[in-house]
Structure formats: C-alpha cells, structure tokens
Chain A
Amino acid sequence: DIVMTQSPDSLAVSLGERATINCKSSQSVLYSSNNKNYLAWYQQKPGQPPKLLFYWASTRESEVPDRFSGSGSGTDFTLTISSLQAEDVAVYYCQQYYRTPPTFGQGTKLEIK
C-alpha cells in the first residue's frame, strides 16, 4: 500500500494568516502517461463526511473558495489556505488514488490560534 504521511498532525493559525499542510507519499503518485498527480485533498468538519477540495493535486472543486490552493508533484504535496477564516477549522486529509487500495493521510487538525 502507498503510505500517506501528513505534517503537522495539528496546526493553530491566527485568523487572516496563512495555513500550510504537507502530505508525503511513500511512492510517486505522478502518472507519466498523462502527467497527472493522483492526489486529492479533503476537509472534514465535526459530524460531517469529508468534502472534496482538490483532485489531480491542484484542481479545485467547484464552490471551494480560492483562498484554498493545492500544489506539489510526485511525492510531496501542499494544501495552503492563504487567509484563514473561522469556517476553515476542520481536519484535512490527503488521499492517493494512484494505486488500489486508495489510502489517506492520518489527518491534520486545523484550529484558530
């Protein structure tokens, strides 16, 4: 299985400041034939299912605010929130779909400082 490791496990950021979450895969999830990274990001708020934010590492799902961005390639990926809002408090997960079984990172809990 591809192991996904996120850092940090938890993060406290002031409102309006930048939040950065990292995700590393144990092997590359870049498919050379189409140059796509098989990597997704999710946001999960308490009592709710995860919500897809990005697929192909950087393609933003519709209705996701543009303060969220996804970047990276190969084995190293980043989710950035440029200006943290109160409603962004959640747990964030990365997930690879390059190989079966799809696997998730352990999650990063984002809080307000």
Chain B
Amino acid sequence: QVQLQESGPGLVKPSQTLSLTCTVSGGSISSDSYYWSWIRQPAGKGLEWIGRIYASGTTNYNPSLKSRVTISVDTSKNHFSLKLSSVTAADTAVYYCARDGSYSTRGGFDYWGQGTLVTVSS
C-alpha cells in the first residue's frame, strides 16, 4: 500500500518561500508511468493543482503559479519537494501531495497524503 506524508513548516512569513517535502513509502517513487503531484486547498474551498514531477525530473507546473513554483525529486530518499516563493496570505491552504496517474493505465490521483496546513502570516 503506497503511503505519502507531507512535512514542513506550518507557518511562513509573507514574501518568504514555502518549502514542503512528501515522503513516499510502500512503493518506489520511480514507479513506471506515475507522476507525483502537489495540490492545495484553501479552507472551505476547492482543489487547485500546483504541479507534478516524474522520477526523471521532468516537471509540469500550473501556469497560474509557474513563476513561483519549483518541484524537485530525490529518488534515493524516495521523496519529492515543493518550493513556492514570494508567498502571500492567498497561499494559505492545506497542501497535499498525491500520486498522479494521469499518464498511467489508471488515471486520476489515486494516493494522497493527509495534507499539511500552511499559514502565511507575519
């Protein structure tokens, strides 16, 4: 059973960089055909896809956030990471990592972390 766990600071100051890591267990992050995505959800609102990475390091980002987002992967540690720069209060949300089957035989986001709340405040 694949499990994902987000980790990182729960409080970030405005204009600083949000940094989160997602550790994958129960399976290899190098699994064929699966990407690994970050998705966020402001309190009481809907889901917004941030970006994805493949084990090779290939990335796709949401154009709405592309200028501020960097996603990286460390296959030796079986984890991938998110950096979001120049944060504002609008970036306050629960951040999820998820296994992305968009290009696999399954489709959709089939495994999710529990989510971590990141608050942007001084």
Contacts and interface: CB of A to CB of B under 8 A. Distances in A.
A104 interface: yes
A55 B63 CA distance: 24
A106 B46 CA distance: 6
Interface in B49-102: 49, 60, 62-64, 96, 98, 100-102
B47 A104 contact: yes
B112 A93 contact: no
Interface residues of A, number: 26
Contacts of B107: 36, 38, 40, 55-56, 59, 97
A97 B49 CA distance: 11
Given A97-B102, A100-B60, A101-B62, A52 B46 contact: no
Contact of A55 (B47, B48, B49, B106): B106
Q: Is the interface of B mostly helix, strand, loop or mixed?
A: loop
Interface in A20-46: 36, 38, 40, 42
A40 B47 contact: no
Nearest to A102: B49
Contacts of A72: none
